[in-house]
Structure 1
Amino acid sequence: MSTVGEKRPAESQPQVNKKSKTESRQEQKNIRNERKSHDKNYEMITQAKKVWEQLRRGDIEREEQKALMAKMMGIIGGKVQDVIFKHDASRIIQTCLKKGNAEQRNQIVEELRGHYLELSKSMYGKFIVMKAIEYCHKQRDNILAEFKNNVRKLIRHKEASTVIETFYSQFANSAQKHELLSEFYGPEMTLFNSGGGAKTLEELLEKFPEKKDSILRYMAEMLKGCMDKGTIVHSIVHKAIYQYMTLTDNKGREDMLSLLKDSLQEMIHTREGAKVAMICLSIASPKDRKNIIKAFKPYLTKIACDDYGYLVLLRLLDVTDDTVLVAKAVIGELSKHAKELFANKFGRRVFLYILAGRNTKYLSPETVKMLKEGDSIRVSKKDPEVRAQELLKATSPQLIKMVADDAAILMREKLSSQVVQEIMLHAVGDKTEAINAILALAGENIEKENHIIEDRFANRIVKAMIKADNAMDENDKAVEPLEFASKLLEVIKPNLSHFATNFGSFVVLALAEEPSTKKEVKKELKAHKKEITEAAKSNQGSKLILETVF
């Protein structure tokens, strides 16, 4: 028995030689290779991979690529079906479809025939199918034939839905798109290909109106399945939903809205998806609209900058009676990224819509037409004019503050300058700080690069503000008097002759034409007729000043 403090003899332990990480990895690699070596195609894949390592490089010469492809086909020719579901071999086949000539590609796709359906469902095989669709356009009908009567299942399959979407959105011609879409409509669509003469769903229903109810029931069931399986992001699904929403009755639309309202943000990146979202917003209840806004909130900036997403936000502005909510949750959130959005082709349109409405200066006639068409199904209590004015009043203070804080940047950027101009003309409320910010820039040293009186974008805003109080066109007239011309003249008077003979000549011309400043401009320029006459030889603005003032 040991006493306190006495050391116990160390117990004998067996000595274990710990392997290093390098040795462990090597051992694991050897085990994998040993396991793979039992595969009858192991040698063939090993040889193919060595060639593939060179073939996939982007810096090889055309002749070398041809030689490598010939060597590769000698290895895998006749054996493609044996390896297509293996991860490493899948990448080899993809490269061959990309780099091969027409004959080699056709040889591969012929060997793949009969396997496209199964490949589409494979995590790795789906990429082979997509490459075959991309590079072998003459084989697309054959691939489509293998998908026939299976699209309903494929579009709801995690892997295969990507293949269907890629085929539909990137490579299918009109007839192939109709054939893919036809499987959303049910067995009745066999009429499309059996002498019925119909090429679209609308044509079929026109020819066989009695089949409408059964087709819509089938579509509703299939589309619900797509939502349950998470394949709602695909444009082919968006097209089918849009067709359903335009053909069904109010009850059908409301039922579809109940399924879509929490996931609209996932589908507004396509034309049809955006149209579906616009329909949903138009018919939604105030509670549903509030929930949709909540779902949109994390993605608002991305939606505003999207080719089609911004249209959904315009519809949101058109139909939401709770303008306080919109001003805070939508415009307030977008305002945090104002510089980015003002300079974006689509993002700025949300702000311009609040300020200028459906002005074809900023929106295409087609877009305005589409917005007007949506008015017919809008479920709202407020008068559109009242709603627009409330929204303008609620958002104007933050828009005016943006100009006051960042005029120097916003006025000199092409797209942003248009938003600034509309803010100064059409926002409501006290613009004193914004006007003072612009006047401060106008009073800067004339040697400063891109002085706002001479900057190609900023001086358009300045000219518009000079003319705004007396403009004949309502789009150019300020909603509230700015009284800007006399203030500007006071600031730039010491350099008036300089601007009259340089890039600021059109600003001076605007002052010379404005009733409140015309007399004083003429007085200030009287002593500079000689310089203006000389400048008029090459400057159109100076020439017009000469004709107007003298």
Structure 2
Amino acid sequence: MGIQTTTATKEANAQKKALRDERRSHKPNAELIYPAKKLWEKLRLKELPKPERQQVMKEMMELITGKVQEIIFKHDMSRIIQSCLKHGNEAQRNVIAGELVGHYLTLSKSMYGRFIVVKILHYCQKYREAIIKEFYGKVRQLIKHKEASTIIEDAYSTYANAAQRAGLIQEFYGPEFRIFKVEDKKTLSDILAQNPTKKDNIMKHLMETLKGCMEKGTVEFSIVHRGLLEYFEHADAKGIQEMLDVMKEQAVEILHTKEGAQVAMLCLLHASPKDRKAMLKTMKPFVVKICKEEYGHMVMLRMFDVVDDTVLMSKAILAEIVKEMEDIAKDKYGRRVILYLLAGRSPKYISPQSIELLAKGDLVRANTSKKDAAVRSSELLNYISPSLISLIATKTRALTSEPLACQVVFETMLHATGDRQPAVDALLALAAENPSEATSETPHVLMSMPTDRLYKTLVQSDYKAPLAEPSLHFAKALLTKISPYLGFFAQQSGSSPFIVLALLENPETAEETKKALQAKGSAKGSITIQKELEKVVKGKPDNEFKAVRLILETLAK
């Protein structure tokens, strides 16, 4: 009985397979698709040796060459062609790309075909121009298309040259630019300078295109950000307000590009208090992320410049910064947000280009913001200062071991309002540790980068640039803490002697430091620290122990 059942099952399976094969044979390109699928199963194996992969690609190309156009819109074959583009050599990729010339526009609109276009843009430099030319005349429609918009964005942001990018964005300006490209004009400013009478018509079509992108959910693309920036740069007050009405709640979606961040900055600059409040509300959940973005952090600086409602700013924005203040202080871009609250537009922390960008808005700010800039900055600083001081007091070692966070520590000590003594005490406690007990994992703060520079600068700030109000008198307190180890620090080949030198140069600690360096120890036969330093440099090349030599020169005066 069992044998009969097994035989019957086998026969049934054989019949099913025969029927399946029969059905497949009637499908278009069946003789190509199913062998291609078998080859693809091998081709996509990660462990496949290179010689075998090359052989599989050779067989695959023999199978599909001349027939690529017939199969690309099928889901399974689209993935096979993508694999061929990924694993093929340059010649094989170009064969596939060449067969698809004239079909890239259609492919870009296809749910599956668009991935082939992405791969060809990436792998086939020879065909990038041909692909982009197929988009000309249709860019306004494509940028609002669910599938094709991603291809337009990839082409614009990653693969197009300057002239091609200009050709793509020009179609935002109106129908005539779909047919006639202004090849020698790269920006809207160039076009309007040559044809000022066309401004109203261009701005009308630009507005329509941009609104369409926002409605279709393609506002996150950099080509749209370029269009938005050009619109804000050339629109009149009425046009700006019209765009603000639709942009204020979407500005948070465009902060990841340079142009997008600049658009958000312009939105904040021109917005009414009510619109600014709406923008802050949308940005609140993403404050920490924005602070850490290369371009987005500039939006935070503009926000500090123009929002008069500092109570709202404190609750919606600064409160979020305080929650993650340590991470923000250590971040390349995030620390600039905190430093802006402390030191304003200091060229030590903000590039000249960024300062210029911020300064461009000052004239407009005078009309759109009522509160005095100094009062606004003071109110924001008053809010965040206690949290900064507390952070330094409780996370001293973690902050001072990070070069970027050290900048935040230094500026907090100079500019924070309120009682800074807890932070001062924490810094002094680290400095007072016995240097002989330090390890390579936890070096003494006066003998390791970047904390040694922090302490030296704090000592110098008491007299070179006395900005702290009231004065910290940091040098005097530091000398008291490290006096048992003053000779040790002075004799090192690293940077700790520069801290001793700073104490020797500070008028508040000069006499006491000099006396300590020239005093003999209590032990019989002991010599002064100064004599010890003379032994250290004796017979050494002039380029060694530079700080020690400077200490000796200062003592000799």
What TM-score do you get using the length of structure 2 for normalisation? 0.89
Question: How far apart are the structure 2 equivalents of 1:123 and 1:441?
Answer: 61
Match of 2:532 in 1: 531
Question: How far apart are the structure 2 equivalents of 1:273 and 1:293?
Answer: 16
2:69 pairs with 1:81:
yes
Q: CA deviation at 1:57?
A: 4.3
Q: CA deviation at 1:339?
A: 2.0
Match of 1:50 in 2: 38
Percent of aligned pairs with the same residue?
A: 49
Equivalent position amino acid for 1:533 in 2: E
Equivalent position amino acid for 1:157 in 2: H
Return 108-117 or 339-348, whichever deviates more: 108-117
Question: How far apart are the structure 2 equivalents of 1:518 and 1:32?
Answer: 96
After TM superposition, the structure 1 = structure 2 runs for residues 93-172 of structure 1, keeping only pairs within 5 Å, are 93-172=81-160
After TM superposition, the structure 1 = structure 2 runs for residues 204-215 of structure 1, keeping only pairs within 5 Å, are 204-215=191-202
Match of 2:238 in 1: 251
SS at match of 1:428: coil
Against the structure 1 CA distance between its residues 509 and 328, is the aligned structure 2 distance closer, same or farther, given a 3 Å change threshold? farther
Choose which of 440, 457, 462 in structure 1 pairs with 2:429. Answer: 440
Write the deviation string for residues 504-533 of structure 1: whole angstroms up to 9, x where unpaired.
Answer: 211111111111211111121111123212
Write the deviation string for residues 379-413 of structure 1: whole angstroms up to 9, x where unpaired.
Answer: 10012122122222222111111111111110111
Match of 1:357 in 2: 344
After TM superposition, the structure 1 = structure 2 runs for residues 304-315 of structure 1, keeping only pairs within 5 Å, are 304-315=291-302
Choose which of 474, 483, 499 in structure 2 pairs with 1:484. Answer: 474
Q: CA deviation at 1:37?
A: 6.0
Question: How far apart are the structure 2 equivalents of 1:338 and 1:412?
Answer: 16
After TM superposition, the structure 1 = structure 2 runs for residues 377-396 of structure 1, keeping only pairs within 5 Å, are 377-378=364-365, 379-396=368-385
Choose which of 425, 434, 444 in structure 1 pairs with 2:414. Answer: 425
Q: How many residues align?
A: 519
Equivalent position amino acid for 2:408 in 1: V
Match of 2:386 in 1: 397
Match of 1:3 in 2: none
After TM superposition, the structure 1 = structure 2 runs for residues 150-549 of structure 1, keeping only pairs within 5 Å, are 150-189=138-177, 192-193=180-181, 198-378=185-365, 379-446=368-435, 447-449=437-439, 450-472=443-465, 477-502=467-492, 503=494, 504-526=496-518, 527-536=528-537, 537=540, 538-549=544-555
CA contact (8 A) 1:198 1:207 kept: no
Write the deviation string for residues 449-496 of structure 1: whole angstroms up to 9, x where unpaired.
Answer: 321121221122211221222224xxx632430011111111111111
CA contact (8 A) 1:443 1:492 kept: yes
Question: How far apart are the structure 1 equivalents of 2:84 and 2:358?
Answer: 48
Question: How far apart are the structure 2 equivalents of 1:510 and 1:35?
Answer: 89
Match of 2:7 in 1: none
Question: How far apart are the structure 2 equivalents of 1:228 and 1:191?
Answer: 26
Question: How far apart are the structure 2 equivalents of 1:60 and 1:549?
Answer: 73
Question: How far apart are the structure 2 equivalents of 1:400 and 1:162?
Answer: 46
Show structure 1 runs of 5+ residues with no match. Answer: 1-27
What TM-score do you get using the length of structure 1 for normalisation? 0.90
Return 300-309 or 66-75, whichever deviates more: 66-75
Equivalent position amino acid for 1:264 in 2: A
CA contact (8 A) 2:170 2:181 kept: no
CA contact (8 A) 2:330 2:402 kept: yes
SS at match of 1:184: helix
Match of 2:27 in 1: 39
Equivalent position amino acid for 1:299 in 2: F
SS at match of 1:363: coil
Question: How far apart are the structure 2 equivalents of 1:30 and 1:413?
Answer: 70
Against the structure 1 CA distance between its residues 545 and 74, is the aligned structure 2 distance closer, same or farther, given a 3 Å change threshold? same
Question: How far apart are the structure 2 equivalents of 1:380 and 1:208?
Answer: 34
Report the RMSD for the aligned CA atoms in angstroms: 2.2
Return 361-370 or 388-397, whichever deviates more: 388-397
Question: How far apart are the structure 2 equivalents of 1:294 and 1:29?
Answer: 62
Question: How far apart are the structure 2 equivalents of 1:354 and 1:156?
Answer: 40
Against the structure 1 CA distance between its residues 443 and 168, is the aligned structure 2 distance closer, same or farther, given a 3 Å change threshold? same
CA contact (8 A) 1:352 1:419 kept: yes
Question: How far apart are the structure 1 equivalents of 2:64 and 2:240?
Answer: 53
Equivalent position amino acid for 1:509 in 2: L
SS at match of 1:193: coil
Q: CA deviation at 1:365?
A: 0.6
CA contact (8 A) 1:155 1:231 kept: yes
Equivalent position amino acid for 2:268 in 1: L
Against the structure 1 CA distance between its residues 164 and 41, is the aligned structure 2 distance closer, same or farther, given a 3 Å change threshold? same
Against the structure 1 CA distance between its residues 417 and 197, is the aligned structure 2 distance closer, same or farther, given a 3 Å change threshold? closer
